[in-house]
Structure 1
Amino acid sequence: MRLGLALPTFGPDATPDGILRICRTAEETGYDSLWTGDRVLAPRVPGAPYPSGDGVMPRIYENHMDPLTALAFAAAHTTRVRLGTSTLNGLWQPPLMLARSLTTLDVLSQGRLDVGLGLGWMPDEYTAVSVPWTGRGARLDETLDVLEGYWADDVFSHQGPLFTVPETMVGLKPCRRPGPPVFLAAFTPAGLRRIGRRLDGWLPVAMPLPHLMGMWDVVRKEAVEAGRDPDTLRMALRVNPELTERATDADRMPRAGTLGQYVDYARAAAEAGVHELFVDFGQSPATLDERVDLAGRFLEGVRQG
């Protein structure tokens, strides 16, 4: 199982020095990947509850960097680790612009990009970028159509219900053909079906492993029904540790627990068949030094298992 770290693109450590520190930590200690998230708004009174914990959005999101710009910076200061978005809201810009940005980042990183898309959870952000909240599934499908065509065709055009792209030459192509792998963060039946039928993988968040693998079985079944090989799909599992000093009861994991409990969870995930697991130690109130220390201890603990 591959292991990754979240870059500090939220909160007080969202600085050039913070990103460089985590980049060096990942490259030097043996992590496989670095990941960024996406926020454009931190409303004082959100229109929907945060989808985990007590429903209150973490205050670290009040300070947020652009995820693709941050990954480009990370690409310039790394040579080995893969670079992923968990997640990039794929509907907040026209798909042609998204295709250009992602292709550029893939080329600049020499083919190290993993594209993780999501639909978000807060209608306020859609209002802020003038994109309708309703019809997100159809908008995502057409966005994927544009990405696939832009990456595959030297002469590309698109005519759809939402977007029109006049015929154009496309000279810039991703390093990995037909394009970088595209993952989706989704938990509804429609979302799991979409992953199995047309995407490269799934971006779930940490949950009890029987439930996680049950949902993965749904994705694999959808792939088979679509005539795809389910063994080509990958799962990259996000873990947002809420670290405690004492061990928590089993029913609280993986929502909260000690570092040792999260190490055990990661080992069990590897045994269950999870392909990649990445941790965001910035979700806990840790300094940058503590974050680096936790990353080292976590990696050592999992690798020794």
Structure 2
Amino acid sequence: MRLGLALPTFGPDARPESLLAVCRTAEELGYDSLWTGDRVLAPLVPSAPYPSTDGRMPREYENHMDPLVALTFAASHTTRVELGTSTLNGLWQPPLMLARSLTTLDLLSGGRLVVGLGLGWMPEEYTAVSVPWKGRGARLEETMDVLEKYWANDVFSHEGPLFTIPETVVGLKAHQRPGPPVLLAAFTPGGLRRIGRRFGGWLPVAMPLQHLMGMWDVIVGAAVEAGRDPSALRMALRVNPQLTDVRTDDEQMPRAGTLGQFVDYARAAAEAGVHELFVDFGQSTATLDERADLAGRFLEGVRRG
């Protein structure tokens, strides 16, 4: 199983020197990937609860970097690790502009981009960027239509319900052909089937492994039904650990526990068939040096198993 780290693009550590430190930590320790997320708004009272146990949005989100700019910075300071978005809200800009940005980043990074898309959870963010909250599924499908055409053709056009693109030459080519892999964060039955039908894989968050693999079975079944090879699909599992000094009860994992408990969870995930797991130590009070130490101990513990 591949292992990754989240970049500090949220909160007080969202600074160039912090990004650089995590980039160096990842490459020196032997991590496989770096990941960043996407926010454009931090309302004082969101209309929808944050998808967590207490429903409260992390205060770190009040300070947020542009994910693609941050990954471009990371690309220039690394040579080996993959660079992923978990997740990029792919509906907040026209798909042609998104295609250009993603293609540029994949080219500049030498083919290290993994595109993880999500639909978000906060209606206020859609209001702020003048994109309708309703109809997100259809907008995602048409966005994927444009991305696939852009990457697969030297000349293309698009005429759809939401977007019209006149016939154009596409000279900019991604390093990965036809384009970078696109994963989707989705948890409803329809969203899981959409992954199996047309996406490159899944971006789940940590949950009990029996539940996780049951949802993966839905994705695999949809891929088979669509005539796709399910073995080509990829699962990259995000873990946001709330680290404790003492061992927690099993029902609190994988939300809160000791570093050793999260090591055990990662080992079990690998045995269950998870392809990649990346951890975000940024939602804690640990300093950057302490997070580097945690990252080293976590990697050693998982690899030793």
- Give yes or no for the alignment of 1:288 onto 2:278: no
Question: In the alignment, which residue of structure 1 is the partner of 2:247?
Answer: 247
2:118 alignment partner AA: G
- Give yes or no for the alignment of 1:207 onto 2:195: no
Superposed displacement of residue 197, structure 1? 0.5
List aligned pairs for 1:56-205, cutoff 5 A: 56-205=56-205
Q: Distance in 2 between matches of 1:148 and 1:174?
A: 12
- Give yes or no for the alignment of 1:9 onto 2:5: no
Q: Distance in 2 between matches of 1:246 and 1:141?
A: 45
Superposed displacement of residue 290, structure 1? 1.1
Secondary structure of the 2:13 match is: coil
TM-score by length of 2: 0.99
Superposed displacement of residue 286, structure 1? 1.4
Structure 1 unaligned runs (5+)? none
- Give yes or no for the alignment of 1:44 onto 2:44: yes
- Give yes or no for the alignment of 1:279 onto 2:279: yes
Secondary structure of the 2:248 match is: coil
Question: In the alignment, which residue of structure 2 is the partner of 1:300?
Answer: 300
List aligned pairs for 1:229-244, cutoff 5 A: 229-244=229-244
Q: Distance in 2 between matches of 1:122 and 1:288?
A: 29
Q: Distance in 1 between matches of 2:52 and 2:156?
A: 41
- Give yes or no for the alignment of 1:28 onto 2:18: no
Tell me how many residue pairs correspond in the alignment. 305
**Larger mean Cα displacement after TM superposition, 281-290 or 33-42:** 281-290
Secondary structure of the 2:192 match is: helix
Percent identical pairs in the alignment equals 83
**For residues 142-185 of structure 1, what are the alpha-carbon distances to aligned partners after superposition, in whole Å with 9 as ceiling and x for unaligned?**
00000000000100110000000001000011111111000000
2:148 alignment partner AA: E
Q: Distance in 1 between matches of 2:252 and 2:54?
A: 13
Secondary structure of the 2:247 match is: coil
Secondary structure of the 1:158 match is: strand
Superposed displacement of residue 289, structure 1? 1.1
Q: Distance in 2 between matches of 1:61 and 1:118?
A: 16
**For residues 88-146 of structure 1, what are the alpha-carbon distances to aligned partners after superposition, in whole Å with 9 as ceiling and x for unaligned?**
00000000000000000000001000000000000010000000000000000000000
Superposed displacement of residue 266, structure 1? 0.1
Secondary structure of the 1:121 match is: coil
Superposed displacement of residue 291, structure 1? 1.0
Q: Distance in 1 between matches of 2:196 and 2:284?
A: 33
**Larger mean Cα displacement after TM superposition, 8-17 or 285-294:** 285-294
Question: In the alignment, which residue of structure 2 is the partner of 1:227?
Answer: 227
1:254 alignment partner AA: P
Superposed displacement of residue 53, structure 1? 2.4
Q: Distance in 2 between matches of 1:124 and 1:260?
A: 38
**For residues 194-253 of structure 1, what are the alpha-carbon distances to aligned partners after superposition, in whole Å with 9 as ceiling and x for unaligned?**
100101000000000000000000000000000011000010000000111111100110
Superposed displacement of residue 80, structure 1? 0.2
Q: Distance in 1 between matches of 2:243 and 2:49?
A: 22
Superposed displacement of residue 280, structure 1? 0.3
Q: Distance in 1 between matches of 2:195 and 2:79?
A: 29
What's the RMSD between the two structures over aligned residues?
Answer: 0.5
1:17 alignment partner AA: E
Structure 2 unaligned runs (5+)? none
4+ aligned runs moved over 2 Å, structure 1: none
